[in-house]
């Protein structure tokens, strides 16, 4: 038997109260939202501290924002970038953009000028919706791009508690020339945009990922991809009306886009937002709003396990607990269960698979590989085909290592304006993940390593070359190499090795600070080691693999 697994057909709905499936061959994400709206206009869709937004309010506000964007000439196929935290405006703007037939380009708000500029330029975004605190960065990054409108908003909107643990003590910052999102909604309230004819193959999201090779690429995630993936989240996690999803993953991340935005819109269950993750605030919000489902990086669950302020009662409403983005250490899983009584289920997916590809069913516990101690990441989700192949793209035997390849309705259309890279990573729609793993005799999949040099820090992917390029900008640095090293909290963290130019000097603290000023927080190196010379091949290529070997 070869290392290939094809999932069973669609699982039956969990109960009679679960909304019916949406036909992914003929539907789109906007139709998915409208179906929930028609079922119950008064149902909550967003809970944000002390404010609740209903489906009817979301419909009205997204109509008004869509009209405001249309007035600026934004229409079908245009890209609109979001530089936002987990705030209601992200959901409102998503539906508004879809109502125009436009495409959401989510961007990490931690990005610096150079990172943001790369995404804006490559995507051809014509507008940006950002937090007031990001406005100056966005303005600088927009120079030389096609961006013609920047709209600002505040994380303090839609609530009145102003919890300093989340918002700090700083007051709002208004920027001349940048319209405010809520003011635009107010100016166009009651107006409706012209209806658009969306097809399943039209783009819904264009998130950027380093993928399996090289610099960031835009993943062309279609409406049919989103509808299918949302249904997987709904059915496999048991999300339903009367339940609620706690949005712990960033909304700009594929887990947030699908699990915390699309799935709640489909299921008719609210998404609970807290702007950014604070372990105590998050636990309080779960308890207050009675969240039933959650999926986030394992570091979230470790933080709760280690916090004396988070009790078992705080998380008692949860019915399905999932982790994705990074491997789950078995010790962390058991420590969380000992304290809270919840088992953490694995979920494996990538930006190019619109999140869910291989998942542990909610009714099962994942086996642990006796040889490596790795916890299985799951089995292929409904209507999905997964296999493990060798370097010649041929299936290997059960238990043998190889690259995991996924096929199914969730696989993206390809990479934006990169046909060669699309053909390489997704030949015939089969996505080569770049992850090394194996399948056991019962069809469970395990991840054991990454084919490429990517670093996975708290679920965020870091490409070493990008960090190295920044280090090379330092006047004292002669050579630089970056690798991932084990970290008990982040899973992996970034370590840099450098050598200096003759006569030049710098402290490791200087180098860390230099990178910190130019890279997102999860990318800059936490550790820097100075060497006289870095190991190289005969041809002069630096050998990263030798730097990974502990002394």
CATH 3.30.70.20 fits 455-548, yes or no: no
Return the pLDDT at 349. Answer: 94
Return the pLDDT at 14. Answer: 30
- Please answer whether residues 409 and 350 qualify as being in contact, where contact means their C-beta atoms are separated by less than 8 angstroms: no
CA 336 vs CA 175, 280, 359: distances in Å: 44, 16, 19
Annotate 374-407 with three-state secondary structure: CECCEEECCCCEEEEECCCCCECECCCCEEEEEE
Return the pLDDT at 537. Answer: 47
**pLDDT(4) > 70:** no
Question: For 364-394, how does the pLDDT look when each residue is reduced to its tens digit (9 = 90+)?
Answer: 999 998 877 788 999 999 999 999 999 999 9
Q: Look up the CATH architecture of domain 50-159+174-198.
A: 3-Layer(aba) Sandwich (3.40)
Question: What distance in Å separates the CA atoms of residue 70 and residue 350, rounded to the nearest whole number?
Answer: 32
Question: What distance in Å separates the CA atoms of residue 439 and residue 197, rounded to the nearest whole number?
Answer: 42
**pLDDT(281) > 60:** yes
* Domain ranges, ordered by start, for the chain: 50-159+174-198, 455-548
Over residues 82-110, the mean pLDDT reads 97
pLDDT band at 23 (very low <50, low <70, confident <90, very high): low
Return phi, psi of residue 495, to 5°: -120, 135
Q: What is the pTM of this model?
A: 0.84
Question: What distance in Å separates the CA atoms of residue 41 and residue 176, rounded to the nearest whole number?
Answer: 37
Question: For 291-322, how does the pLDDT look when each residue is reduced to its tens digit (9 = 90+)?
Answer: 999 999 888 898 899 899 999 999 999 999 99
**pLDDT(451) > 90:** no
SS3 42: coil
Q: How many CB atoms lie within 10 A of CB 532?
A: 7
Over residues 142-169, the mean pLDDT reads 96
């Amino acid at each position: 038997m070869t290392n290939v697994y094809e999932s069973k057909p669609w699982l039956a709905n969990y109960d009679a109260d679960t909304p019916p499936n949406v036909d992914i061959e003929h539907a789109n994400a906007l139709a998915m939202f409208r179906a929930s709206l028609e079922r119950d206009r008064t149902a909550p869709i967003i809970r944000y501290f002390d404010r609740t937004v209903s489906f009817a309010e979301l419909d009205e506000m997204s109509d008004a924002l869509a009209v405001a964007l249309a007035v600026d000439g934004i229409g079908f196929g245009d890209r609109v970038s979001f530089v936002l935290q987990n705030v209601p405006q992200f959901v409102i703007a998503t539906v508004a953009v879809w109502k125009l037939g436009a495409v959401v380009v989510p961007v990490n708000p931690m990005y610096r000028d150079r990172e943001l500029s790369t995404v804006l330029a490559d995507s051809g975004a014509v507008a940006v919706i950002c937090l007031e605190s990001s406005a100056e960065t966005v303005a600088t990054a927009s120079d030389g791009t096609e961006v013609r409108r920047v709209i600002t908003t505040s994380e303090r909107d839609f609530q009145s508690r102003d919890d300093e643990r989340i918002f700090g003590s700083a007051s709002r910052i208004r920027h001349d020339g940048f319209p405010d999102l809520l003011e635009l909604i107010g100016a166009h309230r009651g107006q409706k945009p012209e209806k658009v004819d969306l097809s399943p193959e039209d783009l819904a999201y264009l998130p950027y990922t380093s993928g399996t090779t090289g610099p960031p690429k835009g993943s062309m995630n279609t409406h049919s991809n989103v509808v299918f993936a949302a249904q997987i989240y709904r059915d496999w996690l048991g999300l339903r009306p009367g339940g609620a999803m706690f949005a712990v993953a960033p909304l700009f991340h594929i887990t947030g886009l699908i699990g915390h935005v699309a799935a709640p819109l489909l299921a008719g269950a609210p998404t609970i937002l807290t702007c950014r993750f604070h372990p105590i605030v998050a636990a309080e919000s779960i308890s207050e709003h009675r969240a039933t489902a959650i999926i986030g990086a394992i570091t979230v669950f470790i933080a709760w396990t280690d916090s004396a302020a988070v009790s078992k009662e705080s998380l008692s409403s949860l019915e399905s607990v999932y982790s994705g983005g990074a491997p789950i250490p078995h010790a962390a899983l058991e420590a969380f269960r000992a304290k809270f009584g919840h088992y953490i289920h694995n979920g494996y997916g990538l930006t190019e698979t619109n999140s869910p590809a291989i998942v542990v069913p909610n009714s099962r516990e994942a086996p642990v590989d006796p040889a490596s101690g790795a916890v299985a990441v799951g089995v292929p989700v409904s209507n999905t085909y997964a296999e493990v192949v060798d370097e010649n793209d041929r299936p290997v035997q059960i238990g043998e290592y190889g690259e995991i390849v996924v096929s199914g309705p969730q696989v993206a259309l390809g990479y934006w304006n990169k046909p060669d890279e699309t053909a390489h990573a997704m030949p015939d729609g089969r996505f080569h993940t770049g992850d090394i793993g194996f399948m056991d005799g019962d069809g469970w999949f395990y991840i054991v390593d990454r084919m490429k040099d990517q670093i996975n820090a708290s679920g965020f992917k870091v490409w070493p070359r990008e960090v190295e390029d920044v280090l090379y900008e330092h006047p004292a640095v002669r050579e630089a190499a970056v690798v991932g090293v084990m970290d008990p909290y982040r899973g992996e963290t970034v370590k840099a090795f450098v050598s200096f130019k003759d006569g030049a000097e710098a402290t490791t603290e200087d180098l860390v600070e230099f990178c910190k000023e130019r890279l997102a927080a999860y990318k800059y190196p936490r550790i820097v080691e100075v060497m006289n010379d870095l190991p190289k091949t005969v041809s002069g290529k630096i050998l990263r693999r030798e730097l990974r070997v502990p002394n």
